[in-house]
Amino acid sequence: MIVFLKGILVEKSPSIVILDVGGIGYEVLISVNTYDRLPASGSSCKLLTYHHLRDDNETLIGFFDDKEKKMFEMLLNVNGVGAKTALSILSGLTVKELSICIAEGNIKRISSVHGIGKKTAERIAMELRDKVNPFEAMTGAEQGQPENTIMRDTVLALTSLGFAQDKATKMVQAVLAKEGAPPDIETLLRRALSSGR
């Protein structure tokens, strides 16, 4: 299994790159988001890869970072989503945007990606809802940071009070958008409850 490639970027386009790795040219499929972050042709480049094997085909799919690769792998686990569809989604939405859409159940935004119908968008939102971390997406914070812990615990507190997870997440997001990250759970919970009335 090929997990990454490091070499010279020979050619690049929004959907395919060719990497020269020790004199061997590898064709790698990519998303537009990865393309936007690539160095100039002729530069050294490292891509994480997913080795996609099928009975009649073998494809390497490349990612600039681990977050995009993990999201791609999660999308592949959704019923009816193949490698090309997953790449299309990651070309139409960043990982951050897609995570927020999944957390909020924003079917309309997911289905706005070319080639993604409403039913596929619904399956993505439903099957991946418990697998994304909306707090990281909303704030750009890494898991384990104090701000992220406060937000996660506040949503848990709201759901224990009877709010649906979607609603609780939106309440917390509204407070963050308006006032920024508060210092503690109690403050965030109080403000979220006030905004949710």
- State which of 27, 42, 63 marks the end of a domain: 63
Q: Is residue 77 part of a domain?
A: yes
Phi then psi dihedrals of residue 182, to 5 deg? -75, 165
CATH of the domain at 189: 1.10.8
Q: What local confidence, expressed as pLDDT, does residue 74 receive?
A: 95
**Same-domain pairing of 48 and 72:** no
Q: Is residue 133 part of a domain?
A: no
DSSP 141: P
**Same-domain pairing of 37 and 79:** no
Per-residue pLDDT of the chain (197 residues; tens, 9 = 90+): 889 999 999 999 989 999 999 999 999 999 988 998 999 999 999 999 999 887 778 899 999 999 999 999 999 999 989 999 999 999 988 888 898 889 888 899 899 888 899 999 999 999 998 888 666 655 554 444 555 567 777 877 887 788 776 677 778 778 877 777 666 788 888 888 887 65
Question: By residue range, what is the domain housing residue 178?
Answer: 140-195
Residues 170 and 61: their CA atoms lie apart, in Å, by 34
Q: Is residue 135 part of a domain?
A: no
75: which 2 tokens? 């999308």
Query: With contact defined as beta carbons under 8 Å apart, do 118 and 111 qualify?
Result: yes
Closest CA to 63 of 85, 84, 33: 33
Q: Residue 126 class from Cβ within 10 Å (0-12 exposed, 13-18 middle, 19+ buried)?
A: middle
Paired strand residues for 18: 11, 27
Give, for 61, the enclosing helix (H) or strand (E).
Answer: strand 57-63
**Same-domain pairing of 120 and 164:** no
**Same-domain pairing of 145 and 118:** no
CA torsion 102→119→32→23, rounded to 10°? 110
Q: What local confidence, expressed as pLDDT, does residue 182 receive?
A: 67
DSSP 115: T
Q: What local confidence, expressed as pLDDT, does residue 134 receive?
A: 61
Query: With contact defined as beta carbons under 8 Å apart, do 86 and 95 qualify?
Result: no
- State which of 99, 128, 157 marks the end of a domain: 128
CATH of the domain at 96: 1.10.150.20
Q: What local confidence, expressed as pLDDT, does residue 196 receive?
A: 62
Size of the chain, expressed as the number of residues it contains = 197
Q: What local confidence, expressed as pLDDT, does residue 121 receive?
A: 94
